[in-house]
Structure 1
Amino acid sequence: MASNPTRVSTHKTMTLDKTGQSRSSSDWTRDGALAPSVVVVTDSDPAVTDELATVLRERYTVRSAYDDADVLASLDADVSVILLDPELPGLSTREVRTRARNEAAGCQVAALTDERIDLAATWFDDYLVKPVAHDHLVSTVDRLSRRAEYRTALEVYYQTASERATVTERDRRSELDDRLSQLDQHLNDIFRDLDGSDAYDAALRGFGFDS
């Protein structure tokens, strides 16, 4: 699998790891919208993989994957969005989603398809019909990245609130109160950029109602 250099941006702001600790993110879109830490792109046609990756690499850190082993090797806690061809030979798409969300609970997976599909009949979060218009590609990844960030922040908020409810030591409670306040502001910031259905979906998944 070819490695790609990490894009460096002048935008710096708070994102959250799986424990709720803040970390500096250099992967924001140029218009200030949340961007995923990493996007994985894989299609059964290597030329399509390269085309989509080239477009997205102007804004994001991208990992191109050319076979099933590449895809699985690309998955870690930094991945927020996966663009995945379900017809990639040898690939178990369910294994990809399971492994991706074990690494990063908010990870969003979009199918790269040749025709429209009924999302309700699949486990995919979205889909893109090939050939994909470049502006539609970017807007879809932007939306999925915001949704991924919202879901991750929700999960951390629930975990932190649960810990806060059982802690008796004063300093630790104060620390958790500060973290909850920070998380609440972070969620509000993301929510303003989400439409109702995206926020609803993220909230349901945060409570464990996942297909």
Structure 2
Amino acid sequence: MATDHSSVLIVEDEPDLADLYASRLEDEYDVQISYDGNQALESIDEGIDVVLLDRRMPGLSGDLVLETIREQRLDCRIAMVTAIEPDFDIVSMGFDDYLVKPVSKAELIEVIEGLLLRSAYDEQLQEFFAVSAKKVLLDGRKTEAERLTSQEYARLEDRIAVLRVRLEETTSELADGDGYRQLCMDISQQQSTEDRTDD
């Protein structure tokens, strides 16, 4: 799912570790490094696709960097990459994934690819709903004869068909991931538990 334009910001206060992550990823992505939270907030912009964020840093912690990014509504995915074992405080945090150090190159790439895939799915889904809403509107306001003779309407139908195929492909890719499969099983199990509780 990585493209030539996929960019990753590594936010890690241990320079050797940050540089190691960068060396593992630079063949796949456009990589930037920030060695502290303040530098990260200065360098992050709309061009960043994924942020790998350490939680425990001197000065501005990763938790505060995360909060600030979300408050600024920057359109990026964030994975915490930290030595801090997850606790119940993560429930209220706005990250997209969480890795506990040490992490391998394969783990880093798997998380980044998963986050990029989820972003692509979100964009495809938004466009699909937008063009589908236009079709529904035109279906209700124009006669069948008017729709059949409209080139714009034909292009709209073609776009919907293309988006539907892309969504199916992306959904299939997501379903192939172990984490997604586990999430679906967890949701299904939770639903079954709630159904039994309601009875």
Q: What's the CA shift string for 1:147-189, capped at 9, x where partnerless?
A: 2211221122222222333346833333322222221121112
Query: Is residue 79 of structure 2 the alignment partner of residue 110 of structure 1?
Result: yes
Deviation at 1:42, TM superposition (A): 0.7
Deviation at 1:194, TM superposition (A): 0.9
Deviation at 1:41, TM superposition (A): 1.1
* Counterpart for residue 104 of structure 2: 133
Query: Is residue 121 of structure 2 the alignment partner of residue 150 of structure 1?
Result: yes
Distance change (3 Å), C-alpha of 1:76 and 1:179: farther
* Counterpart for residue 21 of structure 1: none
Q: Is the 8 A contact 1:114 1:129 kept in 2?
A: yes
1:159 alignment partner, one of 116, 119, 130? 130
- Which is helix-richer, 1 or 2? 2
Structure having the higher Rg: 2
Q: What's the CA shift string for 1:26-74, capped at 9, x where partnerless?
A: 43xxxxxxxx711111112222221111101121221222333442344
* Counterpart for residue 165 of structure 2: 185
Deviation at 1:145, TM superposition (A): 1.8
Query: Is residue 18 of structure 2 the alignment partner of residue 45 of structure 1?
Result: no
CA distance in 2, matches of 1:177, 1:75: 38
**Stretch deviating more after TM superposition (183-192 or 83-92):** 83-92
Give the alignment's Cα RMSD to 1 decimal.
2.9
Q: Is the 8 A contact 2:66 2:95 kept in 1?
A: no
1:95 alignment partner, one of 54, 64, 68? 68
* Counterpart for residue 59 of structure 1: 28
Q: Output the amino acid matched with 2:83.
A: D
**Stretch deviating more after TM superposition (108-117 or 168-177):** 168-177
Q: Is the 8 A contact 1:97 1:109 kept in 2?
A: no
Q: Output the amino acid matched with 1:63.
A: Q
Q: How many residues get paired?
A: 166
Task: Tell me the SS of whatever aligns to 2:18.
Answer: helix
Distance change (3 Å), C-alpha of 1:154 and 1:70: farther
Q: Is the 8 A contact 1:116 1:129 kept in 2?
A: yes
CA distance in 2, matches of 1:78, 1:185: 27
Within 5 Å, give how 1:162-177 maps onto structure 2. Answer: 162-167=133-138, 170-177=150-157
| TM-score, normalised relative to structure 1 | 0.65
Q: What's the CA shift string for 1:129-157, capped at 9, x where partnerless?
A: 12222222222222222122112211222
**Identity rate of aligned residues, in percent?**
27
Greater relative CO, 1 or 2 (CA 8 Å, sep 6+):
1
